[in-house]
Amino acid sequence: MTLPEGPCVFEPLRDQDKKAFSCGVRELDDYLYLQASKDSQRKVAAPFVMLDRGGWILGYYTLSSYGINASELPPDVVKKLPRYPLLPATMLGPLAVSSSQRGKKLGRLLLMDALHRSWKNTLQVVSVGVIAEAYDDSARPFYLHHEFVPLADHPRMVFLAMRTIEKSPA
Ligand SMILES: CC(C)(COP(=O)(O)OP(=O)(O)OC[C@H]1O[C@@H](n2cnc3c(N)ncnc32)[C@H](O)[C@@H]1OP(=O)(O)O)[C@@H](O)C(=O)NCCC(=O)NCCS
């Protein structure tokens, strides 16, 4: 997988101005303001931000490790995997774009960066795929639009196989 050059810069969350960001969803804004840095310090989640050339946050997402029961994965994915009860996966946590920047393909760019980073990480720590958790039912179609498939027993979770990400041109 290759990532196209874009107008934005991606960095780990550090001391960028978090309060200037708003995606319009209270829970996701609060997560960035109050929790993301703590999760990073405690090694619970790795937050990444998308910045414009002036250093303002345009969007963010988090990545962490996850274990998934084979029975929860789609049958066509499981049949190509060994019968281990628990399989390694990558969790894509909250993902959000500034409400002032909607519809400019920044959400797609943010997702592509998350998938590219997840795939690069498998060179060191493997993962059968990326699981994304939508914060509510209205957010799930964004992932389904980008080839994720629903996970059994988890109405808000979706899955994209690492083999699919690896083969993706961008
Ligand atoms: C969902 C979100 C990230 C999309 O960001 P965006 O920059 O407006 O979206 P983009 O312009 O990159 O859209 C890329 C594609 O996804 C589609 N898309 C965008 N939002 C969508 C949604 N909610 N449902 C289905 N498809 C969606 C677009 O139509 C576009 O399709 P196309 O490439 O075929 O033309 C943004 O609306 C957001 O931050 N929402 C609040 C938080 C949220 O829902 N996060 C997601 C799950 S936690």
Pocket of ligand 1 (CB under 6 A): 23, 25, 28, 94-97, 102-108, 134-135, 139, 141-142, 145
The mean per-residue pLDDT over the stretch 27-31 comes to 97
For domain 9-167, which CATH number applies: 2.40.50.840, 3.40.630.30, 4.10.910.10, 3.30.365.10? 3.40.630.30
Mean pLDDT of 16-23: 95
User: Over 80: is that where the pLDDT of 42 sits?
Assistant: yes
Residue 25 has pLDDT above 70, yes or no: yes
Assign 3-class secondary structure to the chain.
CCCCCCCCEEEECCCCCHHHCCCCCHHHHHHHHHHHHHHHHCCCCEEEEEECCCCCEEEEEEEEEEEEEHHHCCHHHHCCCCCCCEEEEEEEEEEEECHHHCCCCHHHHHHHHHHHHHHHHCCCCCCCEEEEECCCCCCHHHHHHCCCEEECCEEEEEEEEHHHHHHCCC
Give every CB contact of residue 77 below 8 A, 6+ residues apart in sequence.
128, 129, 159, 161
Give me the residue label for tokens 């980073």. Answer: 117
Looking at residue 161, its pLDDT comes to 95
Task: Specify the residue with its C-alpha closest to ligand 1, atom 29.
Answer: 103
pTM above 0.85, yes or no: yes
Which ligand 1 atom sits closest to the C-alpha of 109? 12
